[in-house]
């Protein structure tokens, strides 16, 4: 017996450090998203501006309840919109039911154009609240409910309704329930429809049309795609009484037949249609922009299939004539996520966003000739395409930019203004945090919401020079702090090149012990449209906060080829290498963190992600099988050759191939095809050494389940052991089954990084930590 105890003690002392700690499932459950989100209330002020005024109203919730306020910037005043108890009392009398005065749920609460009457709905009945008298009256009709027909698109003055039926476009008068339906088009059909629901097979059913009304209501236009030749893709709904195939159109990289875009303009009075000949580039992508209040012109951009050349043009809506203003080439591709065209003074001038100098900048053009007038911004910083406000009278533009200020995180959106001629550039919100601006139409004032992962969200009212006029709100963290929640930590490391700065966020267990060794898990997303970590205040980091409580250090950081908000070189680093570009930077970042922190155990490394992150986490495990030990990969696009065309071709590249052919009469023709082959995860299956968990929604019509099935097939052929779990009936985001998947991932990492193999068949949490 004594010898046995000594042997057991010896084995315990020889065991690795991680084996001496079990996963803290109880803490993970306490701080998972579905529980912890109840502890946080409002974090931003979303102003609702009065018509033709600098005044605004907003609602904000703290642990004291939900309150409504009205703010007058000129008077520097903030007052309650109403007394909650009085409001609830009036509602109780009018509706004959009790109301929670601490949390008034006022559906459709909005201010009418008279700036004094608020309307809202209760049980589909309209109610009106007078701002001056503070009295509520019951409406005589259900007009607000009637206007919520999900098939109707109202013209700006609510004179007309547009809708689709049998895939064609219709209009009717809005003020008459028995109004005659007027059919405007006749060429609509399934997969070439005027309706948003291209696949609709229900005859005579009204649905929402793709039509957009001009502000003067004299015309409307429809930009639609012809997908009739695009090949079918499908998923199976196995949960139906009789499993059912869902078919949808899906263009893949390199496909010959891809959606073709068409533009039609309809005149309301004459009921005539103008089919605009917008063809310029083969398989082009078209974006349409309004001119302003009038309907004489439409502006558009047309981009070629390789996404490296586009033009800016305008269309004469009377005859469909196109005037090309300018063409721009930008290699390897345009960052269409941030592309923006602002039309000023009915088209007299344009503000165009471009990365032609390697960073996103704003340029002023003549709207009639297309001549470049001047640069509005210029320098080594990134102006996002999201222009916040344009003051055409004062000739100023207000915008957000990143990376201009020294020693400020380049991912933080800071606020600036400049004159149209490029002069008068100045910062107006540069507190070191991520800013979100909402500006009055007058451009006199704006609400500035700012926060960071390690900063409590704050909302202030500022004037257009950035001076604080009024403190509005600070987020209430009372319940979070009481529960023991702590903020994550920001860090900076170098990329694998030893030069490029990378930024990230670290999540620790809330009972962190610096003398312990913790396995490290990297939460990843490869981009290139975004990166995995956030710079705004977050209490969950999606899965990261809860996962860390099991006994892990969870980190999330950027990498070259990730964010489009740094610079064009950083963003396009992964071009033509869509599988491998992010991996070396993730590995090197983890090594640096371990060099800095003795509590990080590099002998036990996990990695996980969803969608592109599922793709990247598997690629990392298979590319560096001696570094990463376990990967949880959900809904991964493991084979981008069966992912969608626009994303894959843009970010990995596509080459035009011309083949000379002769017909039976000997006439020579040219056939155009496209080459867009992309490196895949299945081709690396033989490299698997560690533990891999693959999950995928069985009805995922974004990243089709074929992506994971192909990977599983190659792993089986290579004789590899792995875990595969289909998520029944789920689309891309897993929906109601996300909680199940989250706990499944907890057990997976607890087993393979902590050596904790407790079995809980029903996914129930263990009692305590036993």
Distance CA 219, CA 160 (A): 11
The backbone torsions φ and ψ at residue 709, rounded to the nearest 5 degrees and listed phi first, read: -65, -40
- Contact criterion met (CB below 8 Å) for 635 and 611: yes
Peptide bond into 400 cis (omega under 30): no
Name all contacts of 391-394 with Cβ < 8 Å and 24+ positions apart: 391/443, 392/344, 392/345, 394/443
Q: Give yes or no for residue 20 having a pLDDT over 60.
A: no
CB within 8 Å of 6: residues ≥ 6 apart = none
Cα separation, 516 vs 269, in Å, equals 77
The residue assigned the tokens 């981008």 is 640
Q: Find the mean pLDDT for residues 102-121.
A: 94
Q: Report the C-alpha gap between 366 and 325 in whole angstroms.
A: 9
Q: What's the mean pLDDT in 120-149?
A: 82
pLDDT of residue 764: 57
pLDDT digits (tens, 9 = 90+) for 288-332: 998 777 889 999 999 999 999 999 999 999 999 999 999 999 999
Note the CATH architecture for domain 23-40+486-639+685-754: 3-Layer(aba) Sandwich (3.40)
Average pLDDT over residues 22-41: 94
Three-state DSSP at 221 gives strand
For residues 754-767, give the mean pLDDT. 69
How buried is 229 (Cβ within 10 angstroms: 0-12 exposed, 13-18 middle, 19+ buried)?
Answer: middle
Q: Which of 20, 39, 23 is nearest to 31 (CA)?
A: 39
CA–CA distance, 234 with 145 (Å, rounded to integer): 37
- 330-378 pLDDT, tens digit each: 999 999 888 899 999 989 999 999 999 999 999 999 999 999 999 999 9
Any idea where the domains of the chain sit in the sequence? 23-40+486-639+685-754, 48-145
> ∠388-391-395 over CA atoms, to 5°?
120
Cis peptide before 528 (omega within 30 of 0): yes
Alpha-carbon span 42 to 671, nearest angstrom: 58
For 203, the token pair is: 């005859």
Spatial strand order in the sheet of 382-391? 382-391, 396-402, 414-419, 426-429
Please work out, in degrees rounded to the nearest 5, the angle formed at the alpha carbon of residue 32 by the alpha carbons of 29 and 36: 110
User: In the predicted model, is pLDDT for residue 692 greater than 90?
Assistant: yes
Helix axes 583-596, 612-623, angle to 10 degrees: 70
CA-wise closest residue to 385 among 322, 490, 502, 301: 301
Q: In 3-state terms, the chain is what percent helix, strand and coil (to 5)?
A: 20, 35, 45
Question: How many whole angstroms separate alpha carbon 655 and alpha carbon 237?
Answer: 36
Tell me the pLDDT tens digit for each residue of 387-418: 889 999 999 999 999 999 999 999 999 999 99
């Amino acid at each position: 017996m004594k010898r046995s105890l000594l042997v057991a003690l010896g084995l315990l002392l020889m065991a690795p450090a991680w084996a001496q700690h079990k996963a803290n499932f109880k803490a993970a459950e306490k701080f998972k998203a579905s529980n912890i989100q109840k502890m946080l209330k409002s974090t931003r002020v979303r102003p609702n501006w009065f018509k033709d005024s600098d005044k605004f109203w907003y609602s904000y919730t703290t642990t004291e309840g939900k309150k409504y306020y009205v703010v007058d910037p000129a008077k520097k005043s903030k007052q309650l919109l109403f007394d909650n108890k009085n409001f609830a009392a009036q509602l109780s009398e009018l509706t004959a039911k009790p109301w929670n005065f601490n949390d008034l749920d006022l559906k459709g609460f909005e201010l009418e154009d008279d700036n004094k009457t608020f309307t809202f709905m209760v049980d589909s009945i309209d109610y009106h609240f007078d701002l001056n008298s503070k009295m509520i009256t019951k409406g005589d009709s259900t007009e607000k409910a009637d206007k919520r027909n999900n098939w109707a698109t109202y013209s700006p003055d609510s004179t007309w309704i547009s809708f689709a039926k049998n895939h064609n476009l219709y209009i009717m008068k809005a003020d008459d329930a028995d109004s005659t339906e007027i059919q405007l088009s006749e060429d609509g059909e399934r997969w070439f429809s005027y309706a948003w629901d291209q696949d609709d097979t229900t005859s005579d059913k009204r649905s929402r049309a793709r039509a957009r009304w001009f502000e003067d209501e004299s015309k409307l236009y429809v930009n639609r795609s012809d997908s009739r030749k695009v090949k079918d893709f499908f998923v199976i709904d196995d949960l139906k009484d009789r499993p059912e195939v869902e078919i949808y159109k899906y263009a893949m990289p390199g496909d010959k037949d891809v959606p073709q875009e068409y533009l039609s303009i309809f005149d309301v009075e004459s009921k005539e249609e103008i089919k605009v000949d917008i063809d310029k580039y083969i398989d082009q992508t078209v974006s349409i922009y309004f001119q302003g209040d009038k309907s004489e012109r439409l502006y558009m951009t047309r981009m070629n299939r390789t996404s490296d050349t586009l033009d800016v043009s305008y269309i004469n809506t009377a005859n469909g004539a196109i005037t090309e203003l300018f063409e721009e080439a930008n290699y390897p591709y345009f960052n269409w996520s941030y592309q923006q065209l602002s039309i000023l003074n009915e088209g007299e001038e344009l503000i165009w966003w471009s990365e032609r100098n390697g960073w996103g900048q704003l340029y002023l053009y003549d709207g009639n000739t297309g001549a470049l007038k001047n640069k509005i911004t210029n320098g080594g910083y990134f102006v996002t395409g999201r222009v916040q406000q344009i003051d055409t009278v004062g000739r100023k533009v207000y915008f957000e930019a990143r990376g201009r200020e020294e020693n400020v995180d380049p991912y933080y959106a800071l606020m600036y203004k400049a004159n149209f001629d490029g002069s008068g550039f100045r910062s107006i919100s540069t507190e070191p945090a991520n800013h979100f601006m909402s500006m009055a139409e007058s451009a006199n004032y704006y609400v500035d919401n700012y926060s960071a992962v390690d900063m409590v969200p704050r909302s202030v009212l500022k004037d257009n020079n950035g001076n604080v006029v009024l403190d509005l709100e600070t987020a209430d963290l009372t319940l979070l702090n009481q529960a023991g929640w702590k903020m994550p930590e920001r860090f900076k490391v170098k990329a694998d090149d030893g030069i490029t700065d990378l930024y990230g966020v670290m999540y620790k267990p809330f009972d962190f012990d610096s003398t312990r060794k913790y396995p490290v898990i990297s939460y990843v997303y490869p981009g290139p449209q975004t990166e995995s970590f956030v710079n705004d205040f977050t209490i969950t980091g999606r899965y990261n906060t809860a996962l860390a409580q099991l006994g892990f250090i969870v980190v999330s950081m950027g990498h070259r080829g990730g964010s489009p908000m740094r610079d064009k070189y950083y963003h396009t680093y992964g071009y033509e290498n869509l599988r491998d570009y992010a991996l070396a930077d993730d590995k090197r970042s983890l090594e640096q963190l371990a060099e800095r922190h003795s509590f990080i155990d590099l002998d036990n490394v996990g990695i996980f992600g969803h969608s592109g992150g599922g793709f990247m986490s598997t690629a990392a495990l298979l590319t560096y099988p001696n570094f990463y030990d376990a990967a949880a990969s959900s809904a991964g696009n493991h084979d981008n050759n069966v992912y969608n065309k626009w994303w894959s071709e843009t970010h990995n590249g596509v080459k035009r191939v011309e083949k000379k052919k002769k017909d039976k009469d000997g006439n020579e023709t040219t056939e155009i095809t496209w080459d867009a082959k992309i490196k895949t995860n299945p081709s690396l299956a033989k490299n698997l050494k560690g533990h891999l968990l693959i999950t995928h929604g069985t009805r995922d019509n974004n990243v089709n389940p074929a992506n994971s099935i192909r990977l599983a097939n190659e792993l089986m052929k290579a004789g590899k052991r792995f875990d595969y779990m289909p998520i029944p009936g789920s689309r891309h985001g897993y929906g109601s089954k996300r909680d199940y998947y989250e706990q499944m991932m907890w057990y997976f990492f607890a087993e393979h990084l902590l050596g904790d193999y407790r079995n809980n068949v029903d996914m129930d949490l263990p009692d305590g930590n036993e």
